[in-house]
Amino acid sequence: MEKIITSQDEMQNISPLLKGIMEFAFDESCIMDKDGYIIHCSESSPLIWGRPNSESIGRHIAELDSASPYPELLATGKPVLGKLHIINGMTCITHMIPLFNEKEEIIGAFGVIVFRGMEKLKRLMRDQSFDPDDPSSQKLYNQLARAEASYALSDFIGADPEIKRIREMCKRFAREDYPVLIRGETGCGKEILANGIHTERFQSSKHPFVKINCTAIPHTLLESELFGYEKGAFSGAYTTKRGKFEIAGSGTILLDEIGDLDASMQSKLLRVIEEKEFERLGGNTIIPLRARIIASTNSNLEQKMAEGQFREDLYYRLSVLELTIPPLRRRREDIVTLVKHFLKLAGSQRNFSSEALEILKTYDWPGNVRQLRNLVTKLSIMAPEDINCFTAEDVRSMLNKWEIKKTQSAEQTGQQLMSRSINAEKERVMAALGETGYCITAAARMLGVSRNTLYNKIRKYKIDIQKSAK
């Protein structure tokens, strides 16, 4: 690449041609002086910086983009091309090109965002150039897919004092290696927070963020998913497979819904955390655990521990650093801010009437932030194009539909949950007994309960340990 030679005066007073290039050739662009302060911004800049140009010009690039490659450019004097990173919660591909004077001294830089949001680039690949049989194309597409799913702490939106405190705690947690336990109701943003901690800690895509839902995978398969397996470890194991712990490398692994982990896996996970190593199924090679563990749950772990369904020792290992996210009904003042954010994400120019917003602020939101986003998205898509403002009636109609469905299924759901809870506990007890050869002491230790508690459960579920032991 040829060097771009300019002058201080030309930088301050950009030509119509350069201005046109800044406006139309890229998703966003800006010019910085030698010290990293913004001189010019394209008109699209507010979309990426989240503030008008008048507030961006004169600010240091690090204030707007903490992961800016400008320090690297100054140190090397070379362009930084194709950098994939997150700006204000949005994944972007950026270029930054140094500007030189006639003495070939760096006097600033020209920064451009080639793609704002990976979905645009992914769509281009799908429609035109993506070849699923090409390993390099597949690798790039996977990287983009992962990047698109990334969140920053700024995506955990809210001005509530508790939300601000949580964001600050996450910044501190990001500097540590200890496990983190994130607690909160369904839909309150546990995954966003976990991903945000990871992004705050690692600005590079070299450190993966790997998520596994402990409830989405059958207990019998979860061990192989976490630890991997060697070829021939069991019937159907035709190749060696790396587990999630291994794939996570030196990055982060999120164990979502950890409270529903069965007794056997709780025991194995505890050993991995304590010893910081594991083996693939059927293997003899010791693999060091390098990934940082973040666990999340919507379960009442105290109750589960009291009932012998969750190990106390595992809880204390996972909760070295702990956060509890308040439900949306406890931070109602954030609802309006969230609504505006979700309208922006939906690409909608509409808004809500003051009466509609009041209804949203008084509703209890059992599905929390996820439910609110669902409502905003549905209204944005389903409403006629000539409607610019959602009314109180629009909101009531949507909420009433949810309440009717909830009422119709409440009784059935309650019965199902009770039955599932009983069956799950019985299965955990029987699994522990089976794995320990029906040794009461060993099974009680695996379950994290006393011998007397285990005997009570055996009687409760009418488990014939003598017959089963044979």
At 78, the pLDDT band (50, 70, 90 cuts) reads confident
Q: Does 295 have pLDDT greater than 50?
A: yes
- Residue 158 DSSP class: -
pLDDT at residue 357 greater than cutoff 60: yes
Question: Number of C-alpha atoms within 13 angstroms, CB side, residue 232?
Answer: 1
What are the sequence ranges of the domains in the chain? 4-116, 151-324, 329-390, 417-469
Cβ atoms of residues 33 and 109 within 8 Å: no
- Find out if CATH 3.50.7.10 is the number for domain 329-390: no
Report pLDDT for 25: 46
What backbone torsions phi and psi does residue 179 show, to the nearest 5 degrees?
Answer: -60, 150
To which CATH superfamily is domain 417-469 assigned? Homeodomain-like (1.10.10.60)
Say whether pLDDT at 188 is over 60: yes
Write down the H helix ranges in 31-117: 45-49, 53-56, 61-64, 70-76
**CB burial class (10 A; 0-12, 13-18, 19+) of residue 331?**
buried
**H/E element, 312:** helix 312-318
Note the pLDDT of residue 457: 83
| Cα distance between residue 283 and residue 280, in whole Å | 5
pTM as predicted: 0.62
Work out the percent of the chain whose per-residue pLDDT is above 90: 36
Shortest CA distance to 332 belongs to which of 309, 360, 306?
Answer: 360
Distances (CA, A) of 211 to 143, 149, 184, 278, 310: 15, 11, 17, 18, 21
Provide the pLDDT for residue 158. Answer: 92
What integer best gives the mean pLDDT of the chain? Answer: 81
What is the domain class of 151-324 according to CATH? alpha beta
Q: Domain 4-116, what fold? A: Beta-Lactamase (3.30.450)
